[in-house]
Amino acid sequence: MALSDMLDSIPTSGIRRLFELAGRYSDALSLGIGEPDFDTPEHIKEYAKEALDAGITHYTPNVGLPILLEAISQKLKRENGIDADPASNIMVTVGGNQAFLLAISTFLRQGDEVIIPSPHFVTHSASVQLAGGVPVEVPCYAEFGYRPRTEDLGKAITPRTRCIIINSPNNPTGSVLGKGDLEEIADLAVDHDLKVISDEVYETLIYDGLRHESIGALNGMESKTITVNSFSKAYAMTGWRLGYVVADKDTISKMAKFQMYLAACPVSFAQYAAAKAINDERSRSHIETMRSEYQRRRDYISSRLDAIDGIEVTKPSGAFYIFPEVVGKDDLEFSESLLKNKHVAVVPGSTFGKAGKGHIRCAYTLPIPALEKAMNRLEDFMRA
Ligand SMILES: Cc1ncc(COP(=O)(O)O)c(C=O)c1O
């Protein structure tokens, strides 16, 4: 199938439609936005200015600036327990988003299947389709904290399965996979010779003392795992468009070939600033400030939603989303009516796959006073 046919078969993101509608109301409160409401820390902006002044304004290697690759390699060892050679196992990408199509295109063949625990981030299934593959959604349930059950993943494996995509902390549910979950998924991957793409872009937003674990650090998973990460959420750098991939040498070199014809490289001075940011103490304190603020908001929004009749809450453990069930309601109609009547924007759960039906995604990327207003409006809406 040609890429143009593939594009026709992929729906436009439901999130965009909702934003367009929300734009009509001047007093709209948006719980739809999946990006930090914090600004990029000043010291990172200063590093970008320093790069501009130093003339770091040219193309970089397709895989990224060597100082950034080196900084990422050190960070992976220190924080994720992953050994990655900066010369062959890492590539910087134009946001984490770009990484999925680049990575999946290196190994997927027409008709190959990719297992995606669902509800899931929309780019995961779209990238599989664009690469000619078939996304196979495996539903996750509130009773298990929206973590995939290994037996369900196992049942979905067929002779055409090539890969499993996992995402912890998760968008849209906020679920977090523990080491035990990852070990079971790793066993499946080894037994059935599957790759695992692990989307870890929310790794710093994790609550209640939980620790982020990387599947790429587990024994036997070094060559099977493609880890995707990003500067967007951890450093409040969404508009800088910087992410990275950790993978085996062959995958990285194929991705670099693809990148040559796509973007050539991510923005040079943004890469320099990111390299400096990784090793700067001030970044660590910024990350902790954001993490503790989002935990406070998570607690607030969970308890407000929990007190509303007709809404079932599963308290998330990470990211900045909550994914309550709107019991007995159609999520598309519910979201549209909530926006029209109360000017509160949420994302219908079915945007994130079949398993999201009957749910809504609320991003708590607004300060608590605004969240309070949104919750008051939602409460009124439910009463009516
Ligand atoms: C789960 C997940 N992965 C990856 C991304 C990509 O982010 P970026 O392209 O800004 O790095 C997002 C963005 O919302 C996301 O939610």
Greatest CA separation for the chain: 60
User: What are the pLDDT digits (tens) for 307-361?
Assistant: 999 999 999 999 999 999 999 999 999 999 999 999 999 999 999 999 999 999 9
Asked if pLDDT for residue 11 goes beyond 80, the answer is: no
The whole-chain average pLDDT of the chain stands at 96
Mean pLDDT along residues 183-207: 98
For residues 272 and 51, give the distance between their C-alpha atoms in angstroms, rounded to a whole number. 6
- CATH number, domain of 236, equals 3.40.640.10
In this structure, the number of other CB atoms found within 10 A of the CB of residue 285 comes to 11
In a domain, 192, yes or no: yes
Q: Check: CB of residue 351 under 8 Å from CB of residue 335.
A: no
171 lines ligand 1 (CB under 6 A): yes
Host domain of residue 168: 58-279
Beta-carbon-side half-sphere exposure of residue 23 (alpha carbons within 13 Å): 6
Q: Do residue 228 and residue 135 come from a single domain?
A: yes
Domain of residue 371, CATH code? 3.90.1150.10
Q: How many distinct structural domains can be found in the chain?
A: 2
**pLDDT on residue 201:** 98
* pLDDT per residue as tens digits for the range 59-108: 999 999 999 999 999 999 999 999 999 999 999 999 999 999 999 999 99
Q: Whose CA is nearest to atom 14 of ligand 1?
A: 34
Residue 13 pLDDT > 80, yes or no? no
Using an 8 Å Cβ cutoff, are 236 and 283 in contact?
no
| Average pLDDT of span 107-113 | 97
- Residues linked to residue 29 through DSSP beta bridges, in sequence order: 344
> Computed from CA positions of residues 152, 154, 158, 162, in that sequence, does the dihedral angle turn out positive or negative?
positive
Residue 47 lies in a domain: no
What DSSP element (H or E) covers 294? helix 281-306
Q: Is the pLDDT of residue 303 over 70?
A: yes
The CA 308 to ligand 1 mean position distance, Å, reads 30
97 in contact with ligand 1, CB cutoff 6 A = yes
Q: What is the whole-number distance in angstroms between the Cα of residue 232 and the centre of ligand 1?
A: 7
Query: Is residue 316 located within the same domain as residue 170?
Result: no
Q: Does the Cβ of 331 fall within 6 Å of ligand 1?
A: no
Give strand ranges (E) for 95-242: 113-118, 134-139, 161-167, 195-199, 225-230
pTM for this entry: 0.97
CA distance 135 to 161: 10
Answer for the pair 232, 205: CB distance below 8 angstroms, yes or no: no
Q: Are residues 222 and 187 in the same domain?
A: yes
> Within this chain, do residues 303 and 201 fall inside the same structural domain, yes or no?
no
Averaged pLDDT, 196-216? 98
96 and 202 in one domain?
yes
Evaluate: CB of 96 within 6 angstroms of ligand 1.
Answer: yes
- 98, 167, 201, 205: residue to mutate for ligand 1 pocket, most atoms within 8 A of CB: 201
Strand pairing partners for 272? Answer: none
Last residue of a domain, which of 279, 304, 329?
A: 279
**What's the gap in Å between 311 CA and the centre of ligand 1?**
27
Does 123 reside within a domain?
Answer: yes
Average pLDDT in the 364-378 region? Answer: 98
**Residues 6+ positions from 245 with CB-CB distance below 8 Å:** 90, 91, 93, 99, 102, 103, 226, 227, 228, 229, 251, 252, 255
Render pLDDT for 27-65 as a digit per residue (tens, 0 to 9): 999 999 899 999 999 999 999 999 999 999 999 999 999
Q: pLDDT value at position 332? A: 94
Distance 233 CA to ligand 1 centre (A): 8
Atom of ligand 1 nearest to the CA of 94: 9
Nearest-CA neighbor of 50 among 239, 231, 268, 263?
268
Q: Is residue 53 part of a domain?
A: no
| Number of H-type helices and E-type strands within the chain | 13, 14
**CA-to-CA distance for 91 and 186, rounded, in angstroms?**
23
Q: Same domain, yes or no, for 21 and 65?
A: no
Whether residues 9 and 85 share a domain: the answer is no
Q: How far apart are CA 221 and CA 46, in angstroms?
A: 38
Residue 365 CA, chain-centre distance (Å), reads 15
218: confidence class by pLDDT, cuts 50, 70, 90: very high
| Pocket mutation for ligand 1, best pick of 13, 16, 93, 121 (most atoms within 8 Å of C-beta) | 121
Residue with tokens 């308290």: 315
| Of the residues 279, 301, 330, the one at which a domain ends | 279
Give the pairing type, strands 344-345 and 113-118: unpaired
Q: Are 245 and 226 in contact (CB under 8 A)?
A: yes
Q: How many whole angstroms separate alpha carbon 267 and alpha carbon 94? A: 8
Q: How far apart are CA 281 and CA 183, in angstroms?
A: 32
A 10 A CB-CB count for 344 gives 25
Residue 160 pLDDT? 98
pLDDT of residue 2: 84
* C-alpha atoms less than 13 angstroms from C-alpha of 300 in its C-beta half-sphere: 22
Least confident of 7-21, 220-234, 307-321, 330-344: 7-21
Share of the chain above pLDDT 90, in %: 93
- Final residue belonging to a domain, choices 244, 279, 314: 279
Q: Say how far residue 34 (Cα) sits from the centre of its chain.
A: 9
pLDDT band per the 50, 70, 90 thresholds, residue 14: low
For residue 238 and ligand 1, the question of a CB distance below 6 A is answered with yes
